[in-house]
DNA sequence: AAACATTATCGTAATATTGCAATATTAAAA
DNA sequence: TTTTAATATTGCAATATTACGATAATGTTT
């Protein structure tokens, strides 16, 4: 059907999935890499860097923002988008928990 | 269009995105959580646990396998699916690199 | 205020994803 | 070898995502 049965899963499972989903597009990875490396964080600079139309990038930024991966603040005429460390720390913890669990159990029995 | 312009991005960006994308569905998160906690790792057990049809779960397992998140081995009549530690370690490193970079630069200037 | 610059939203077309019933495949068991 | 059990694949319908041109909204500058 194309519709995810979100109601069948826990809030936490759904939220985790949404976070990963937001990271699951090369353009959004490219945006993150740009923000990591850039001195400024003006939206227009991102549009200049990526091979996509302005409208498309605006949508990707919206998705990253909804997922809590970036935050934006008005900077005069334009908007400054930056990474949200809190979310990445949460993500880091999540992955570390998993690798720890894998190591302490026999989750890799195959 | 619905078509991702993969050709416009680097291989690494595309691969990273594919990995996250595979994690971006609650059913697949639920499968991972089950495998973390389960003693055995038989496919049929996963089907029993999740509120989805067998065909649907088979598809999700295929996606996880394609992304290198799980690996399967034949166990008599059935198939044993397990987490692939290597991939999670890679993922862990990826996230840690990002948080390190955020901390050492001013990527969160907003 | 008018013109301009920047970003967001809308509308739409194309493709992708999700989910499941039905069926196929594979291997064990009888 | 027939039957049974377990998993994969196919075909399809419904919804979601991606992308972009056009346009709206917002704030700046003149």
pTM above the 0.85 mark?
A: yes
Instruction: Please list the pLDDT of chain A residue by residue as tens digits (110 residues).
Output: 779 999 999 999 999 999 999 999 999 999 999 999 987 789 999 999 999 999 999 999 999 999 999 999 998 889 999 999 999 999 999 999 999 999 988 666 77
Sign, CA torsion B74/B68/B96/A67: negative
**Residue B61, exposed/middle/buried by CB under 10 A (0-12, 13-18, 19+)?**
buried
User: Residues B17, A26: contact at Cβ < 8 Å?
Assistant: yes
User: Residues B16, A78: contact at Cβ < 8 Å?
Assistant: no
C-alpha–C-alpha distance, residues B27 and B57, integer Å: 8
For the record, the structure tokens of B42 come out as 């038989």
Strand C bases, protein C-beta under 7 A: 5-11, 13-22, 27-29
Rounded CA–C1' distance between B4 and C3, in angstroms = 37
Q: Which residue of A has its CA nearest to B96?
A: A92
Q: How far is B78 from chain A (nearest CA, A)?
A: 13
Flag residues 75-104 of B with CB < 7 Å from strand D.
77-79
Q: Which residue of B has its CA nearest to A86?
A: B99
């Amino acid at each position: 059907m194309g519709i995810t049965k979100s109601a069948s899963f826990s809030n936490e499972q759904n939220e985790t999935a949404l976070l990963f989903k937001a990271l699951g597009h090369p353009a959004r990875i490219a945006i993150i890499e740009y923000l990591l490396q850039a001195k400024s964080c003006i939206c227009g600079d991102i549009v200049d860097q990526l091979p996509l139309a302005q409208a498309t990038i605006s949508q990707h930024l919206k998705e990253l923002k909804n997922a809590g991966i970036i935050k934006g603040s008005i900077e005069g005429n334009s908007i400054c988008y930056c990474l949200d460390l809190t979310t990445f720390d949460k993500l880091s913890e999540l992955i570390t928990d998993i690798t720890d669990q894998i190591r302490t159990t026999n989750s890799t029995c195959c």
